[in-house]
Amino acid sequence: MTKSELIEAIAQKQTQLALKDIDIAVKTMLEHMVESLENNERIEIRGFGSFCLHHRPARTGRNPKTGEKVELPEKYVPYFKPGKELRDRVNLT
Amino acid sequence: MALTKAAMAEKLFEQMGINKREAKEMVDAFFEEIRTALERGEQVKLSGFGNFDLRTKNERPGRNPKTGEEIPISARRVVTFHPGQKLRTRVEANAGTFEQ
């Protein structure tokens, strides 16, 4: 499912808002979530999951082709932990 | 302070001029449609944000960490999230401002 299919799916289940408004709403929500992570602020959605940043310390890596050492700086990567309802609904057993 | 559904609805109310009930329903519908797609076994790709993928895991041996007793971890399907290039770049660009 892509973003536009998600927008369509939301539109089909309600009658109050025009497709254009749902499009704006979805983009606004995603932008809000990105801004939150950009500021190292957690996102907590009950029944869905939580997003936060994980810190990766600097390390010495290697170029797998040449075997040459490369210094990799520390970085922050977004991490998602699914919530209980999502885990249960997705798990088939 | 963590971002919650209430804060997301508040922003829709402020920026779009839809009423508070519509804003709350929109936030609920957004997360519910993603869950429904994943439940169907469908990957969800949100450009500019990231992809929610499904992985099937086979049964594997596990252990009760308290008692040391061996119990198998049953086969299961799990959700994984892969942040997109744009999200990763935006987070990295701002990382210098984070307090240690």
Convert the pLDDT of each residue in A43-62 to its tens digit: 999 999 999 999 999 999 99
Residue type, A70: V
- What are residue B45's DSSP bridge partners? A2, B51
Contact indicator for B54, A57 with CB cutoff of 8 Å = no
CB contact under 8 A, B30 and A6: yes
Shortest Cα–Cα distance, A69 to chain B (Å): 23
Which structure tokens are listed for A67? 């075997």
CA-wise closest residue to B50 among B77, B78, B88, B79 = B88
Q: Which residues of B touch A22 (CB under 8 A)?
A: 26
Interval B31-43: pLDDT, tens: 999 999 999 999 9
**pLDDT attached to residue B39:** 96
**pLDDT attached to residue B97:** 86
CB contact under 8 A, A77 and B83: yes
Whole-model pTM: value is 0.90
pLDDT at B80 over 90: yes
**ipTM score of complex:** 0.90
CB contact under 8 A, A76 and B48: no
Distance CA B71, CA B63 (A): 5
Which structure tokens are listed for B20? 């508070």
